Structure 1
Amino acid sequence: MQLLYFGFFSVAYILTVTGNVLIACAVLLDRRLHTPMYILLGNFSLLEICYVSTTVPNMLANLLSTSKSISFLSCFAQFYFFFSFGYDECFFLCTMAFDRYLAICRPLHYPRIMTKQLYTGLVISGWSFGFFLYIAPVLRISRLPYCGPNIIDHFVCDPVPLMMLSCSEDPATQLLYSTLNIIFINGTFLFVLCSYALVILAVLKMPSTASKHKAFSTCASHLTVVMLFYGPVIMMYVSPGSGHPEKMQKLITLFYSVVTPLFNPLIYSLRNKEMKAALRKIFIAEQSVHKI
């Protein structure tokens, strides 16, 4: 069974990385995609590669290993980078929702507001935001007294199983961790929902059916990704009954850390004409090089 899992998750990881690399390359190479929406999408794709690479390679190695061990430092490094990249994804999803809101609800003011300086600052903030925000929880959880069992019943160094291994409870650390998750995850999710509620209202007022279809098509991809990402994350870290059984925790984590990143490139490329045209152009160029 472990070899079967290894094969399945290896294919999923390769497809995820390949799909996101293609989207990033399409945005980089096609000048028609040098707009804020696609620049944000290209950075989001690169972020997805970093996000899955913090956990999946180690999980694949464990499936082939008999010891399945990880050092204390490596465990907390994985914990820090996994959640930092996850928080960065939340920030980018908010930024992309804000960009769609400006483009559809404030089209005349869009060039004046979404300047190169602004979206460059948003990209830099998106990459660095999670790393600053998640330093405190990681440091506090790493300083808990660990003197008992050293077996984590999980395939990643998740904070809940880690805190369960501690010899003594620390209510302040648990409160900090829970409060940060509830405020940030719920806050960014509500921001995205409010942005798209305003977008939908603006689209419904459009006189042209073709304009409505194009606007809905563009926003549907983003909303699908948002639901796939936030659904299991909220269920795992924000819901009141977050004390899920161990098997349920693994399945939920597996979904948002492996399955969702696999679907994201397909969702964005298959539902977007400009992206499909850019990818087709890359493949044609590659075939021409091979022929030469």
Structure 2
Amino acid sequence: MTISVCTLAHGRDEHLQYLVRGLNHSRRPPCELVVAAMQDRRYELPETGFPIRQIVLGTDAICLAKARNVAAEHARGEMLVFLDVDCIPAPSLIQDYAAALALEDGIFMGEVGYLPSGATVGGIDFETFEELAVEHSERAGPPPGFLGSCEDYRCFWSLNFAMRKATFAQLGGFDEDYVGYGGEDTDFGRVATSNGVPLWWVRGAKAYHQYHKHHMPPVHHLDSVLANAAVFARKWGHSTMDHWLRAFSLMGLIESDGSGGWRKLRDPSEAHLALTRQQEHQPYASSAWVLEKLEDQESRGSAASRAPAMTAA
């Protein structure tokens, strides 16, 4: 079976360099790496023992869904492995995905370990990566065995996954109505399970996520999250990204429009960005932590408003 690795990138030159260097350590190399470059130039990349093909998409209306579809369309492998540009694949990643597909059919999601700041300063060192990497507290851990069924389509995560190219085409790829950030992963998982394509967790097929500052919930993508939430609701008849929308509401950035949707009230301020920004000591940003803090503030505020007024004797 031939296996293509697909990624999409906008900037992130150093991250992509490390992804390629990681692939050079693969026990089973890919037949190719396909890069959907969401910019106006090609990347300068390390030498490899496999071809790298770059499709330059330009910077107009950056659409993650479209970039993944373009990479898949140009890929020549029978199996597609999708990695986000900030991932470094472990040496066994491609080998593990091939073994998974030999056992079952469907969509496979490998492990992800989050690296702290400075972990890649010494270059590719998988022993060090494994010592330093941590699991995301808001994501499922690896299954007890090699494969474990994922019963909730909302858990689909495009950071590190693999599937047959024929299945990807059968499902129609990612829905390109989702422009910018948010919603396209959940939609893809829903489409897959609605069409009887199972989701699987894989013990192994590990990628190491390179440190970079991020915001969770993604308040810096407020407009696209709102737009994509509306796309999902129109398509499926119910909402998604509810935890992010709840956080935005508690921040006073949005409010209910009275018909199940949301209305934007204002742009995020520096205070909102500071609240959601990943800190130097954190290997990943946490929506759960921010939402818990906002819920606690609201609870204390509501309790104070319900307290009886104190009057002088």
What is the TM-score of this pair, normalised by structure 2?
0.24
**Larger RCO of the pair (alpha carbons < 8 Å, separation 6+):** 1
The structure with the largest helix share of the pair is 1
* TM-score in terms of structure 1 length: 0.26
Bigger strand fraction? 2
